[in-house]
Structure 1
Amino acid sequence: MPKFYARRHLSVLAGATALIASAALFNSPSASAALPTPVSGATARGYLAQLTVATENRTGYSRDKFPTWITISGTCNTREWILKRDGSNVVTNSACTATSGSWYSPYDGATWTSPSDVDIDHLVPLAEAWDSGASKWTTAQRQAFANDVTRPQLLAVTDNVNQAKGDQDPATWVPSRSAYLCTYVRAWVQVKYYYNLSVDSAEKTALTNDLAHC
């Protein structure tokens, strides 16, 4: 069981962790909610100091071990829920599929009017999570992580920017839009801290340097 359950939910019985994780998703705020604001720079620096530094291990990783997308509300799956949350004037059909709207990508400052030009980014990539602790989780816990709409872990961004990012951590990739850098690294640390994921040494150095300016 990932330590984040013990750290954040000391009163929860070990056998109920998967149920609690699923319930948190289905009780999430409506799609009219805004993208969660990351913790402050000072808080992020404090969190980073508490993260375990460890060598990453990709052994056994498969994206299929992180089930996406799941139903979040009504007929809306995670992707459509985030498109509605992060877009402007979003129109959907009866299946909750976005048919029109406008999406601003905070990574590169581009605005898109076609949903097909927008990806939903896992800010902490699934492979990165696997490497830094999620390999020890249950499938239900990995599903909760992959569909987390409560923390600043999912956001709509330009599709080819998301693809260029891939599974990189902040040691090798940060958004090209410098105005978003502090938000990005604060969110990264918040997610890793909540889920008790480790950082490698290069990642910690990059985060330390970036957070010094936040």
Structure 2
Amino acid sequence: MASLIASLLLSSLALAAPAPAPAPSPPGIPSASTAQSQLAALTVAPQGSSEGYSRDLFPHWITTSGACNTRETVLNRDGTNLVIGSDCYPDSGSWYSPYDGATWTAASDVDIDHVVPLSNAWKSGASSWTTAKRQDFANDLQNPQLIAVTDNVNQAKGDSGPEEWKPPLQSYHCTYARMWIKVKYVYDLTVTQAEKNALVQMLDTC
């Protein structure tokens, strides 16, 4: 009888436990097979110079609609159980970071990662773009270029490509590679041979 009661208690606790927050899923992530085709279509070339680069040349966190800027829009897209203020900033909620598997309950602990970093884009072809195109790239909500992740993980990534940095959670390597490839494909950015090799290896985990 005691074991039955204990079993029922455990069952009720399991039912009461909150489900883990879903991983954010930016729009436009291709299938693995489509990503392989897109990767094959990218131009392989040595990385260009960083001369002249500045984040200011990629105006970001612009107003997207009403009171919302791009950062707030992504926070609100990728969070769960949010209470959003009249200024569009989420006052409470939770954010699951698929890069490292952490969940945060303060928006200040979350960064919005540019999947393809602005500096990497500059050295891969964006140095010749207009400022308007660089602004579109830095605020792209139509492709898998922006995602809410743990702030210090994003800072550890910096402007590294996948040949130098990968998400700590290996289970996310497939999705990360597919996002990276899609962004480079849409914007016709080049990849280095080392970068391509790393992406092929990551797609092999799909």
Q: Same fold (TM over 0.5)?
A: yes
Q: Does 1:176 align with 2:168?
A: yes
Shift of 1:189: 0.4
Secondary structure at 1:39 match in 2: coil
Q: Which amino acid aligns with 1:131?
A: K
- TM-score, length-normalised on structure 1? 0.82
| Structure 1 residues without counterparts, runs of 5 or longer | 1-32
Shift of 1:130: 0.4
Find the counterpart in structure 2 of residue 93 from structure 1. 85
Pairing partner for 2:116 from 121, 124, 133: 124
Pairing partner for 2:60 from 65, 68, 73: 68
Find the counterpart in structure 2 of residue 48 from structure 1. 39
Distance 1:63 1:201 in 2: 25
After superposition, the C-alpha distances for 1:112-138 in whole angstroms (9 at most, x for unaligned) are 000100000000000000010000100
| Structure 2 residues without counterparts, runs of 5 or longer | 1-23
Task: Identify if the C-alpha distance between structure 1 residues 34 and 211 changes in structure 2 by more than 3 Å, giving closer, same or farther.
Answer: closer
Q: Does 1:155 align with 2:147?
A: yes
Contact 2:174–2:204 (CA under 8 A) maintained in structure 1: no
Secondary structure at 1:128 match in 2: helix
Q: Which amino acid aligns with 2:178?
A: R
- TM-score, length-normalised on structure 2? 0.86
Shift of 1:201: 1.3
Distance 1:109 1:179 in 2: 10
Contact 2:26–2:145 (CA under 8 A) maintained in structure 1: no
After superposition, the C-alpha distances for 1:83-129 in whole angstroms (9 at most, x for unaligned) are 00000111222211121110000000000000100000000000000
More deviation, 126-135/52-61: 52-61
Distance 2:64 2:83 in 1: 18
Secondary structure at 1:68 match in 2: coil
Shift of 1:212: 2.6
Distance 1:53 1:35 in 2: 26
Moved over 6 A (4+): none
Q: Which amino acid aligns with 2:33?
A: A
Aligned Cα RMSD in Å? Answer: 1.2
Shift of 1:200: 0.8
Q: Does 1:167 align with 2:173?
A: no
Distance 2:136 2:202 in 1: 28
Aligned positions of 1:10-89 closer than 5 A:
35-57=26-48, 58-89=50-81
After superposition, the C-alpha distances for 1:65-85 in whole angstroms (9 at most, x for unaligned) are 000111112110000000000
Find the counterpart in structure 2 of residue 25 from structure 1. none
Bigger Cα Rg: 2
Paired residues in the alignment total: 182
After superposition, the C-alpha distances for 1:153-203 in whole angstroms (9 at most, x for unaligned) are 100000000000000000011101111110000110011000000001110
Distance 1:174 1:54 in 2: 21
Q: Percent of aligned positions with the same letter in both sequences?
A: 62
Distance 2:88 2:165 in 1: 32
Q: Which amino acid aligns with 2:43?
A: T
